[in-house]
Structure 1
Amino acid sequence: MTFPSDFTRPDRSRPEPLWHQAENAVRELIARGTWPDGMQLPNEGKLSELLGVSRITVRHALRNLEQSGLLRREHGRGTFVRRSTVIGGIRGLTSFTQEMAERGLVVGSRILEMIEIPADGEVASALEIADGTPVYRIRRLRAGDDQPIGIQTAYLPASQFPGLLEIEGPIPSLYELLRNRFGVTPRTAREIYRVGAVDGDDAELLDIAAGSPAFIVHRITSGNGKPFEFTISIMRGDRYEIRSKLHL
């Protein structure tokens, strides 16, 4: 196995811990595409030889990369690159775009639909408005590093965001748009995660087989104590994980 000529190898003369240098070296190889999505990494012994560090150092680096979602370990098979997985869990109120950035992925967004409709019971209840109140429905296909990860459908009160449907071009971050254009900042959100199957149309958009498992996420976002967004997300089960730390 060969590395790029300008590849940054761990160097004992540098002040950073060797495990941290080894971790960054693997990140660099993944980011460059030298080690692409799905590739099996060399075993710990070979990595130790290639990087010029001990097996313990390699093990430490791989564990950190697995916890950050860049690698996956399969018992009896080995360690594989998993660049396109987004890991959710206990965190601050973030947008999909922020989640992508935190995982080192390039966000992608394609608008599937932007229309005004009357709010049905579920949407009206979530936004605390009357049934039939005009709302905007914005449906987007979300991706990381050109790989589809989820479909998000956001509902917003039309009266609160006049002219929103007239905005041209992609909407990478809806929160950023609402903050900059309308002065609305998300303060709190409630989320419910369920597991469901993806139907045919959505499965085709997500490039998976119909009936594949997915996280169905309902989020109600508020600013100044009042809900302004209700979003239903369908996140690919093989590219989105939920991890939490539990304490006694």
Structure 2
Amino acid sequence: MSEDKETLILDDLMQKITSKAFKSGEKLPSENELAEKYGVPRMTVRNALLKLEERGYIYSKQGKGRYLKEESLQIQLHLTAKTSFTEKMKQAGYNLETRNINCEKIGFDARIYRILNAPENGTVYKISRLRLLDDEPIAIHSSYVNEAMFPDIGEDGRQIGSMFAYYRKLGYTEFASRKSLLSITFPSSKEQQLLSCKSLVPLIVVESDCVDAKEGNILEHTKILYRSDKFKYDITMD
């Protein structure tokens, strides 16, 4: 029965949040106040609040209580790889910072190797960057690149912030996207640390292939993990 009551409290609080009965940044009623309102033990209320926190809707201030998170920032999310992420964000006027966090060989992955036309005994590198807007982590952007296509990628990849800028230095000037896929996942412990989010905050996954528009060759397979709790994404097609 306590689980049923916990679910009812969680649903009621969620409804209040989505209908904006609570204002952005507002302090929520205390556990004692909510326990009295719903006629349940304080622990039942606490469990419901912890779930809200895990989902990224509220946050705690030690000794002060729980607060509704600030209004999400709305940004334009393009689903094609014709323009670089860096260029998209800068054109929109956002204060974007990119941190190169990893460059490593991956183990054989049949799907990625097939997309990149890499043989099973070939080498594919994964170059990952953390994207931040106004000092808030927004996304982890990973590019999978065939070493046969870019022989120096193992060394160069450690310094790359924008893959498109790297490709342009090598003579590629026009880019196209073969297809884009969108799905949902939940963050690993490492991704939670990088994105400063909880384990139950869904991540939006966008996968696409970047193609050299002139020759039709696959330059990279891209996978981007976007936080869903801090931002709203406009996917209106131009």
TM-score range, shorter chain: 0.5 to 0.7
Is the Cα contact below 8 Å between 1:155 and 1:230 reproduced in 2? yes
Is the Cα contact below 8 Å between 2:96 and 2:133 reproduced in 1? yes
Map 1:72-111 to 2 at 5 A: 83=73, 85-89=74-78, 93-111=82-100
CA pair 119-240 structure 1, distance change in 2 beyond 3 A: farther
AA of the residue aligned to 1:228:
L
Pairing partner for 1:229 from 197, 217, 220: 220
TM-score (norm 1): 0.59
Pairing partner for 2:143 from 154, 177, 185: 154
Is the Cα contact below 8 Å between 2:103 and 2:125 reproduced in 1? yes
Q: Secondary structure at the match of 1:160?
A: coil
AA of the residue aligned to 2:225:
I
Cα displacement string for residues 103-153 of structure 1 (whole angstroms, at most 9, x for unaligned residues): 211221112211234541121122133223211210111112221110111
The runs of 5 or more residues in structure 2 that have no matched partner are: 1-23, 27-69
Pairing partner for 1:187 from 164, 170, 176: 176
AA of the residue aligned to 1:244:
T
1:181 & 1:199 partners in 2: Cα distance?
35
Query: Which stretches of structure 1, 4 residues or longer, exceed 6 Å deviation after superposition?
Result: none
Is the Cα contact below 8 Å between 1:195 and 1:213 reproduced in 2? yes
Percentage of identical aligned residues: 22
Cα displacement string for residues 144-187 of structure 1 (whole angstroms, at most 9, x for unaligned residues): 22211101111111021122232387433111111113536423
Is the Cα contact below 8 Å between 1:118 and 1:133 reproduced in 2? no
The runs of 5 or more residues in structure 1 that have no matched partner are: 1-37, 41-79
1:207 has 2:196 as partner: yes
1:176 has 2:165 as partner: yes
1:136 aligned residue: 125
CA pair 123-158 structure 1, distance change in 2 beyond 3 A: same
Q: CA RMSD in A?
A: 2.8
Which is worse superposed, 86-95 or 149-158? 86-95
Cα displacement string for residues 178-207 of structure 1 (whole angstroms, at most 9, x for unaligned residues): 111353642333110112222221011101
CA pair 216-160 structure 1, distance change in 2 beyond 3 A: same
Q: Secondary structure at the match of 2:169?
A: helix
Q: Secondary structure at the match of 2:222?
A: strand
1:123 & 1:162 partners in 2: Cα distance?
18
1:126 & 1:163 partners in 2: Cα distance?
20
AA of the residue aligned to 2:236:
S
Cα displacement string for residues 189-232 of structure 1 (whole angstroms, at most 9, x for unaligned residues): 31101122222210111011012111111111111212120111
1:76 aligned residue: none
1:92 & 1:159 partners in 2: Cα distance?
21
1:173 & 1:100 partners in 2: Cα distance?
12
